[in-house]
Structure 1
Amino acid sequence: MKTHSLIKLAFLTVTIFSLHNCTLFNLPNGSEKSTLGENTYYSPKIRNLPPPKDKIIVGVYKFRDQTGQYKAAENGASWSTAIPQGTTTILLKALEDSHWFTPIERENIGNLMNERQIIRSTRKEYAGNDANESSSLPPLLFAGLLLEGGVISYDTNVMTGGIGARYFGLGAGAQYRQDRITVYLRAVSTSTGEILKTVYTSKTILSTSVNGNFFRFIDTERLLESDIGVTQNEPVQLAVTEAIEKAVLSLIIEGVKDNIWANKQKNPFDFNKIIDDYSSEEKINDSRIIGNKFPDQDRGKMSVFAYAEGFKIKDDYVNAKMNIGGKLGFKYFFNDYLNAEVNVNAVTFENEGIFKKNVLMSELNLECLLLPKYKLSPFIYAGAGMFPLSNKTLYKAQIGGGLEYLVSQNLGLRAVSQYDLGFTDDWDNLINGKRKDMGVRIGLGINYYFGSKKTKN
């Protein structure tokens, strides 16, 4: 059997097996039964709050989508709204789950009044002499508070990004997109009309896509191609529910802090812990921006770093080889963006079978961190360096850049690349032509921050 026939048979076997067993890739392969609705992060928090001193009767007439936003469509216009239209129902469920409020029906008060009138008319018609007594109904509850507000913003493509690579027909990539919704909720006293408290929450909506593909010519007439990918979109309904539940939780906590209402004093320390956690979140939120996970002062005034680097010389010989070396250094930050760096690093100059030399270099760089308030930030730097070689000192310049990701308040992971620009042509002890010797390096490492900055008020 020919080679391409064997490849074709193997490819068809794998394809049929993959399509038959979609669960291999966590893909649905049939209909699913109905389930209870999913919980959000704040669902158990509002359910497990300490009980109130007295439940508050609250009415919600309208808590709706105020954005006017429609779903984005690639082709033509879409008349489907981006925000669910049942946000009043979501709010009433959150109020009920909290056990701090007694929600009463006000959104469809007309239906309720009509039904009560039907009950009175029916009882009066068939009660005979006892018509007046039997036709009476218990009085409706009236609300001490009205809750107003709504979903006031839906911002698309707040943050987008991706990464991908392709090599000889084999490729893979990943993309993400963040949208953002904003909710405002206010409590209004029905006796005075005073706005007692207003809270505001927001929630990001994440969409991710991962894909891979492969194609290659088996021979001049046959092309083998394969694709696989998974896309996941966070449901907008769950994001709206979480933002509303967070708003209800914030309203309860801030109301207790301002003595608008009170919890039952079985164990006051239970609620004190909740208030302390909420106050800590407020302090962090004071200096937060969109996409930011750390306040300004979290990156320290100084840092030490260590990299593992691969270095490859670009000289007059052929067969240059990349070898692994290392770099140790210290940074001092003038401000959030700019720092000075000094380091020592060990590299190896090698042309396979021709020349090899271990070299110890020292460098001085000026670095700019482009997005210091974000967890993931690109950086660029430039500077000069020197190293001893063959009983003399050689000088060079370097430029570089990369990405830093903060895994904690003090620790950052770095991916870096650098280009070394030589001033002479004798790094390999050979002067040949006008071209100067140079070097290329790529590396991975850690950056540890210490020393606090002055906090800006």
Structure 2
Amino acid sequence: MRAYTYTRIFFCSALLCILQACSSLLGLPSNPERSTLGENTTYTTELKNMPLPKEKIVIGVYKFRDQTGQYKPSENGNNWSTAVPQGTTTILIKALEDSRWFIPIERENIANLLNERQIIRSTRQEYAKDVDKNAQALPPLLYAGILLEGGVISYDSNIMTGGLGARYFGIGASTQYRQDRITIYLRAVSTLNGEILKTVYTSKTILSTSINGSFFRYIDTERLLEAEVGVTQNEPVQLAVTEAIEKAVKALIVEGIKDKIWGKSVDNPANYQAVVDEYDREQIENKDRVIGNKFPGIYRQNFAIFGNVEAQKIKDDYVNPKMNIGGKLGFKYFVTPSINFEFNSNIFTMENENIVKRTFFVPEVNIEYILFPKYRFSPYLYGGAGAMYSSIKPKYKGQVGGGLEYVFAKNIAVRASSQYDLGFKDDWEGLVNGKRKDQALRFALGLNFYIGNK
């Protein structure tokens, strides 16, 4: 009994050591990390590399706050933590400094500044009576020609969610993702007359992903082996807010150059033409962008030629059906972006081991429906009828199928599909037996080549 106890203790200790080693190999944190400087986003570098103005613009920011009132989603009770960081004014001021276009002045906590200046005056009056009266007075505060207003106006949770997983014989793995989205509005206001000079808005998605694997198996009737591993990664909301604000600042600068609201700070607009052209290109691309950062377009022409390699298996009245390889060639004509007529010819081999083997030439006619015709990646469904020709009289059938298509290059798409064939009669192999008609299942992988007009 004591030996059994020692064995269990030894096994558990060894398992813990192995898990600790695996955590290091997988890059999982096992020790505290030192504090570091904050990360830079893509737009931090772009702001710092902007062409400089002739002279900087004095600008004030009173409040640039979270206007959503959104709390963090919680699965266990109430969570009173806000979903959006509350220091967005500070983030905006940092972005203005990084751009080197502006001189930000303190306005968020101006009461503290005025109080401190009052303390300086009182101290001088009280303890500096013998100082030369011609000494320099406290200099005046800077005032801004432009104020920046706006804030975080939207935090949308779970705009896209999904996952993928599989489990077989106690071994399984899965992955999940979730996307949130944050939206920023920023406007420039003239302090001369209160006119709103320009308004821009930007958005940024926030991605959370997880990958999990598990093993669950009975070794025998009394012993169970179970193991799990998983990694979850959440994009920091603060970095997402920072990136959206930096993008808004860059957009405001470029819009101001185009509309000439920066006055003498931009003496020669030609110096900034490259930045303006890049911004205009992004505006054109952004015109068709939809939720999920997807860009629908016209990727498919009105004709297509395609070829498939198929794995085929019969389900007839004999036993031991075998899998065979066949092929399919055909063309499609699109009557609408979603609907097309398909005509194809394929080679189909029906085989039952050591019983019968017959090869058919099969022309087919189908009507196909593409679910998302304006996207590169789309599922599709089709159905139709066909005839099976061999040395004996023709056989007739119907078919339905579906699959996935991805347009990976100009006018070229890869397809993966499955098709179910059902005979009109139970005589493909020459034997009529039972009520069930002969059937077949096919799996295909192929290419579509689009030609013609879009």
Call closer, same or farther: CA 1:201–1:266 in 2, change over 3 Å. Answer: same
Partner of 1:424: 425
Call closer, same or farther: CA 1:390–1:89 in 2, change over 3 Å. Answer: same
Q: Is the contact between residue 94 and residue 248 of structure 1 (CA under 8 Å) also seen in structure 2? A: yes
Partner of 1:228: 229
**Counterparts of 1:131 and 1:178, CA distance in 2:** 66
Partner of 1:276: 277
Task: Map Cα deviations across residues 179-220 of structure 1 (whole Å, 9 max, x no partner).
Answer: 111111111111011111111111111111111111121112
Partner of 2:179: 178
SS at match of 2:322: coil
Partner of 1:27: 28
Letter in 1 for 2:103: T
Partner of 1:320: 321
**Counterparts of 2:29 and 2:192, CA distance in 1:** 54
Call closer, same or farther: CA 1:256–1:449 in 2, change over 3 Å. Answer: farther
Call closer, same or farther: CA 1:175–1:446 in 2, change over 3 Å. Answer: farther
Cα displacement (A) at 1:73: 0.6
Structure 2 residue 133 is matched with structure 1 residue 154: no
Partner of 1:18: 19
Call closer, same or farther: CA 1:305–1:115 in 2, change over 3 Å. Answer: farther
**Counterparts of 2:313 and 2:28, CA distance in 1:** 44
Letter in 2 for 1:44: T
Call closer, same or farther: CA 1:408–1:75 in 2, change over 3 Å. Answer: farther
Cα displacement (A) at 1:275: 1.7
Q: Is the contact between residue 321 and residue 351 of structure 1 (CA under 8 Å) also seen in structure 2? A: yes
**Counterparts of 1:429 and 1:234, CA distance in 2:** 63
Cα displacement (A) at 1:393: 2.2
**Counterparts of 1:71 and 1:409, CA distance in 2:** 43
**Counterparts of 1:395 and 1:436, CA distance in 2:** 12
Q: Is the contact between residue 257 and residue 269 of structure 2 (CA under 8 Å) also seen in structure 1? A: no
Letter in 2 for 1:362: P
Which blocks of at least 5 consecutive residues in structure 2 are unaligned? 1-6
**Counterparts of 1:204 and 1:188, CA distance in 2:** 28
Cα displacement (A) at 1:69: 0.4
Q: Is the contact between residue 120 and residue 135 of structure 1 (CA under 8 Å) also seen in structure 2? A: no
Cα displacement (A) at 1:280: 1.7
Letter in 2 for 1:351: N
Q: RMSD of aligned C-alpha atoms?
A: 2.5
Scaled by the length of structure 2, the TM-score of the pair is: 0.91
Letter in 1 for 2:421: D
**Counterparts of 2:76 and 2:124, CA distance in 1:** 58
Task: Map Cα deviations across residues 108-167 of structure 1 (whole Å, 9 max, x no partner).
Answer: 111111111111222222212337554721111111111111111111111111111111
SS at match of 2:130: helix
Cα displacement (A) at 1:370: 1.7
Which stretch of structure 1 is more off in the superposition, 130-139 or 384-393? 130-139
Call closer, same or farther: CA 1:306–1:11 in 2, change over 3 Å. Answer: farther
Matches within 5 A, 1:358-373: 358-373=359-374
**Counterparts of 1:21 and 1:304, CA distance in 2:** 50
**Counterparts of 1:291 and 1:347, CA distance in 2:** 41
Letter in 2 for 1:398: Q
**Counterparts of 1:119 and 1:211, CA distance in 2:** 61
**Counterparts of 1:12 and 1:302, CA distance in 2:** 66
**Counterparts of 1:322 and 1:52, CA distance in 2:** 71
Partner of 1:3: none
Call closer, same or farther: CA 1:138–1:205 in 2, change over 3 Å. Answer: same
Letter in 2 for 1:255: G
Q: Is the contact between residue 306 and residue 329 of structure 1 (CA under 8 Å) also seen in structure 2? A: yes
Partner of 2:257: 256
Q: Is the contact between residue 18 and residue 24 of structure 1 (CA under 8 Å) also seen in structure 2? A: no
Partner of 2:3: none
Call closer, same or farther: CA 1:193–1:431 in 2, change over 3 Å. Answer: same
Letter in 1 for 2:316: D
Which stretch of structure 1 is more off in the superposition, 294-303 or 207-216? 294-303
Q: Is the contact between residue 298 and residue 374 of structure 2 (CA under 8 Å) also seen in structure 1? A: no
Cα displacement (A) at 1:12: 8.0
Partner of 1:45: 46
Cα displacement (A) at 1:80: 0.3
Q: Is the contact between residue 302 and residue 332 of structure 1 (CA under 8 Å) also seen in structure 2? A: yes
Call closer, same or farther: CA 1:291–1:308 in 2, change over 3 Å. Answer: farther
**Counterparts of 2:267 and 2:359, CA distance in 1:** 73
**Counterparts of 2:126 and 2:410, CA distance in 1:** 74
Call closer, same or farther: CA 1:336–1:154 in 2, change over 3 Å. Answer: farther
Letter in 2 for 1:95: L
**Counterparts of 1:118 and 1:324, CA distance in 2:** 90
Cα displacement (A) at 1:316: 1.1
Q: Is the contact between residue 379 and residue 404 of structure 1 (CA under 8 Å) also seen in structure 2? A: yes
Matches within 5 A, 1:114-193: 114-130=115-131, 133-134=134-135, 136-193=137-194
Call closer, same or farther: CA 1:197–1:81 in 2, change over 3 Å. Answer: same
**Counterparts of 1:428 and 1:88, CA distance in 2:** 77
**Counterparts of 1:183 and 1:331, CA distance in 2:** 45
Call closer, same or farther: CA 1:258–1:217 in 2, change over 3 Å. Answer: same
Q: Is the contact between residue 359 and residue 390 of structure 2 (CA under 8 Å) also seen in structure 1? A: no
Q: Is the contact between residue 297 and residue 375 of structure 2 (CA under 8 Å) also seen in structure 1? A: no
Number of residues paired by the alignment? Answer: 446
Call closer, same or farther: CA 1:190–1:265 in 2, change over 3 Å. Answer: closer
**Counterparts of 1:403 and 1:120, CA distance in 2:** 75
Q: Percent identity?
A: 62
Which blocks of at least 5 consecutive residues in structure 1 are unaligned? 1-5
**Counterparts of 1:224 and 1:63, CA distance in 2:** 55
